[in-house]
A and B are shown apart, each in its own frame.
Chain A
Amino acid sequence: MFQLDLKSRKTIYEQVVDNLKELIIAEVLQPEEKLPSVRELSKTLTVNPNTIQKAYRELEYQGYIYTVTGLGTFVAEPRETAINPIQLEEITARIENDIKELYFLGLNVEEIKKIILPFVEERGENK
């Protein structure tokens, strides 16, 4: 499903969380799709099952997935409410950094807008 980078400084736990999030955001994993069980995933990735368990708990806490006892774990519908302020701040900082970089490349305001706005609109149309 995804690869882990053992040389990375990121912990395996963070990598599992981030990889699954990415797959969910990119809709490779569709809402209501069943995720592999903790056991299955730990075996395919050769990762400590306790780590996978913790990653699933974190994703559930962040609202990306939900668990039904006895049935398994599923991808959640994208949320309408409850935006996590810390996450929002983090992502905003990331965007800010990228825009700074574009200025540094020598682009002007209009050119940057031309790059960014289509992304915003494209995603909005899909929803």
Chain B
Amino acid sequence: MIKVDHVNKNFDRFKALDDLNINVNKGSIYGLVGTNGAGKTTIIKHITGIIRPDSGQITIGGEDVFDNRNVKQKMGFIPDDLFFFSTYNLKEMSKFYKALYPNWNQERYAHMVTQFDLDEGNKLSKFSKGMQKQAAFVLIMSSMPDYLILDEPIDGLDPIVRKLVWKYIVEDVAEREMTVLVSSHNLKELEGICDSIGIIAKGHMIMERDLDELKSDVHKIQVAYKKKPENPYKNLNVLHLETRGTVDLLIVKDKKELVEQTIWKNNPVLFDLLPLSLEEIFIYELGGADHEIQSIIF
């Protein structure tokens, strides 16, 4: 389990993390989302023990992360900006990893290199951006991490490789209960793979929930009546209401059954209830105040 407990961090006068809490359960795939500059990469660098927090605590499996070799041996991290030794090829790099990670799996490494069709003898600095990312993934997955931390992992990967990457991740979660923390702006992709979601803004956690639960209590509704009743939505927690002609468009935060009951009571001629996509929830939570943005989305 990864636990971030009331962490604060300032860079000069800029407050990067503000009393941030994150809980990632063992064997879970956790999606970390937030706007640009919200502090995703900063908190990931804290979780991987690269930066020390000003206050608060970060533990993995109960152990403090910073300067802890024991934890880092069990952790795999693929940063947004990759680093390889400039003169190394993939084979040499794999020997370096092998020396660092006690659980290194040579068999898997050999299998993955052929599967991703990477040239072991070519210098890594000559690889394209996407191929470097693949190389990093092959190296990290061959180290058999218990905790996998990914910062924008699928950026720049083609759809076939992406599928393969997720396949490996899901397999390790299923077989070894690996814990995964992944940050991305590709919400569609996260939605398909994560079980928990944390949304952060300005270095602070806005909401941290089970993804299915989150999606099951915010709905987008379209209703039309022959004769509109007076104040038909007074029992509901309406986040947003808009009338387009005779059709009402609502965003409601309530259980599905209650919403259906309330609406059906007024005999609508048209009633559509759609669950919100993660993207819509994200925009609603983070762009909520700005009417200009809202009118584009809903």
Contacts and interface: CB of A to CB of B under 8 A. Distances in A.
A43 B170 contact: yes
B195 A50 contact: yes
B29 interface: yes
A52 B277 CA distance: 20
B170 A50 contact: no
Contacts of B193: 47-48
Given A11-B215, A48-B195, A43 B167 contact: yes
Contacts of B173: 42, 48-50
Contacts of A10: 275
A65 interface: no
The A interface is mostly helix, strand or loop, or mixed, namely helix
B194 interface: yes
A98 to B, nearest CB: 16
* B interface SS class: helix
Interface string A46-66: 111111001000000000000
Given A39-B174, A43-B174, A48-B194, A9 B166 contact: no
> What's the interface size class on A, roughly?
10 to 19
Nearest to B167: A46
A6 interface: yes
Contacts of B62: none
Contact of B27 (A6, A50, A86): A50
Interface in B266-297: 274-275, 277
Contacts of B167: 43, 46
A39 B172 CA distance: 10
B274 A9 contact: yes
B95 interface: no
B66 to A, nearest CB: 29
A49 B257 CA distance: 28
Nearest to A10: B275
Contacts of B174: 38-39, 42-43, 49
Contacts of B275: 9-11
A47 B171 CA distance: 9
Interface residues of B, number: 24
Nearest to B220: A9
B242 interface: no
Contacts of B194: 48
A12 B167 CA distance: 16
B212 interface: yes
A48 B277 contact: no
Nearest to B257: A86
A91 to B, nearest CB: 14
B240 interface: no
Nearest to A86: B257
B28 A6 contact: no
Interface string A31-46: 0000000110011001
A39 B239 CA distance: 39
A47 to B, nearest CB: 7
Interface of B: 27-29, 163, 166-167, 170-171, 173-175, 188, 192-195, 211-212, 215-216, 257, 274-275, 277
21 contacts: A6-B188, A9-B274, A11-B212, A11-B215, A11-B216, A11-B275, A12-B192, A39-B175, A42-B170, A42-B174, A43-B174, A46-B167, A46-B170, A48-B170, A48-B193, A49-B27, A49-B170, A50-B28, A50-B195, A51-B195, A86-B257
Interface of A: 6, 9-13, 38-39, 42-43, 46-51, 54, 86
